[in-house]
């Protein structure tokens, strides 16, 4: 909701099939992985997104511990940092993404 209110188009995936459908059918430049995902689901979603969109950026949200922060990501952010920091981080990540990678 925070990113939608900041003017971003947001697609929510609750299952692996949703991730695949969204990544294949939409212009995605950033995947945000929630701290509520298990390590396996987080890694699986990221691997799928990167295999379909190699230039995709990733942001992992943490809440004390991060099940998905073992591997290198473009950014890791604590959910406790608040909505303003989330939007700032997303803006920085998206500024670094060339438009050609959206396709």
The 10s digit of each residue's pLDDT in 7-17 is: 999 999 888 88
Q: Is the pTM of this model over 0.95?
A: no
Q: Are 19 and 46 in contact (CB under 8 A)?
A: no
| Angle CA 75–81–87, to nearest 5 | 60
**For residue 70, what is the domain's CATH number?**
3.40.50.2300
- Partners of 78 in the beta sheet? 62
Closest CA to 62 of 42, 40, 91: 42
Higher model confidence: residue 3 or residue 14? 3
Q: Are 69 and 33 in contact (CB under 8 A)?
A: no
Count of domains forming the chain:
1
Domain annotation covers residue 103: no
What is the span of the domain harbouring residue 73? Answer: 2-97
Check residue 45 and give its pLDDT: 87
Residue 53 phi, psi (nearest 5): -135, 80
**What is the mean predicted confidence (pLDDT) over 1-28?**
89
């Amino acid at each position: 909701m925070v990113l939608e209110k900041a003017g971003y188009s947001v697609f929510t995936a609750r299952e692996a099939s949703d991730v695949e459908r969204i990544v294949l059918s939409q212009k995605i430049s950033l995947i945000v992985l929630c701290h509520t995902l298990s390590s396996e689901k987080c890694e699986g979603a990221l691997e799928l997104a990167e295999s379909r969109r190699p230039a995709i950026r990733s942001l992992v949200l943490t809440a004390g511990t991060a099940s998905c922060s073992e591997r290198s990501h473009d950014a890791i952010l604590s959910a406790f940092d608040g909505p303003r920091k989330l939007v700032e981080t997303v803006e920085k990540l998206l500024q670094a993404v060339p438009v050609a990678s959206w396709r």
